[in-house]
Amino acid sequence: MKYYIYISILLISCSRTDDSFINNCTTDCTTITGRITEGNDIGIPDAEIEFYFEENPLYSSFKRIIARDRTDNNGNYELKGFIKDEELGYVNDGSFKIRLLEESLSNSYMKNTSINAVEVGYYTSINSYVEKYISEIFSRDTIIEYNLAIPKKVPLILKIREFQPINETDNIDISIFFKASPNQELISYSVSNFIRSEYQFVNFDISTFGGLNFINVINITKRKNGILENESIEIFITEENDNEVTIFY
């Protein structure tokens, strides 16, 4: 008779956060400074910014919050924190990050959302990445600047015309990115709209979001009978505009 012994090993990941040293720095401090704005360079008050050190070894993570504060009435902020000896220089599996806490913003601003199913075969979502990654800091007297422009949401209508898919893989993928000025590309935020062949309408309008007082870069990818087509449209959105874009499939 044969006996088989099965051994199960359960690996449990461990995550810890230490916030006991927040803003507890009086000498030999590292400074994080910057400004948080919306369109037209208007400062956003009371937005919360966090500076922390994080280690992510195998199956665990440790986060030490070094400093946290809010922007003033003009959107300016300054954080001062003390970096420990073991955090300076190269740290295996460790890095620093500066993060905007999106929960401190009102819902009028672009913030991460889950995928919202509007109709069968269609979804829209808002994607954001509001962290500055710093691989290593070698000296405590370092001054780091982090500025961020956050789009304010404004209704935008995408008028999809002649959507007549041939096979089940046909679709339109529309991603909206933002520029604060012609020379400044904003890659931290995007609005994704994806329409699959199950969406059974020839001509229809989609209610989505644009960025107020930003150049909105609308990237359009169409898959028609297995063939990809790409185009890009740029519009500057204000409250006075009709804020409608017509896209032919």
Instruction: Decide which of 115 and 206 is more confident.
Output: 206
DSSP bridge partners of 65: 52
The per-residue pLDDT for range 156-212, each reduced to its tens digit, is 999 999 999 999 899 999 999 998 776 666 667 899 999 999 988 999 999 999 999
pLDDT of residue 14: 76
Instruction: Decide which of 13 and 73 is more confident.
Output: 73
pLDDT of residue 173: 96
Q: Which of 1-5, 54-58, 149-153 has the highest mean pLDDT?
A: 149-153
CB 37 within 8 A of CB 184: no
Q: How far apart are CA 170 and CA 140, in angstroms?
A: 54
List phi, psi (to 5°) of 102.
-65, -25
pTM, whole model, 2 decimals?
0.83
CB 146 within 8 A of CB 134: no
Q: How far apart are CA 223 and CA 107, in angstroms?
A: 33
Domains along the chain with CATH numbers: 14-105+130-150 (2.60.40.10), 151-249 (2.60.40)
Name every residue whose Cβ is closer than 8 Å to that of residue 147 and which is 6 or more positions away in sequence: 34, 35, 36, 37
Q: Check pLDDT > 60 for residue 121.
A: yes
Mean local confidence (pLDDT), 11-35: 81
pLDDT of residue 144: 95
Terminal alpha carbon distance of the chain: 68
CB 22 within 8 A of CB 68: yes
Mean local confidence (pLDDT), 122-149: 93
pLDDT of residue 7: 41
Work out the percent of the chain whose per-residue pLDDT is above 70: 91
pLDDT of residue 10: 43
Mean pLDDT, the chain, rounded, equals 88
Four-CA torsion 108, 99, 33, 44, nearest 10 degrees: 10
- In whole angstroms, what separates CA 55 from the centre of its chain? 22
Q: Check pLDDT > 60 for residue 8.
A: no
Q: How far apart are CA 14 and CA 16, in angstroms?
A: 7
Rg (CA), the chain: 23
- In whole angstroms, what separates CA 173 from the centre of its chain? 19
pLDDT of residue 175: 95
Work out the percent of the chain whose per-residue pLDDT is above 90: 68
Instruction: Decide which of 16 and 112 is more confident.
Output: 112
Instruction: Decide which of 202 and 226 is more confident.
Output: 202
Name every residue whose Cβ is closer than 8 Å to that of residue 20 and which is 6 or more positions away in sequence: none
Confidence of residue 247 (pLDDT cuts 50, 70, 90): very high
Of 61-65, 114-118, 211-215, least confident by mean pLDDT is 114-118
Confidence of residue 13 (pLDDT cuts 50, 70, 90): low
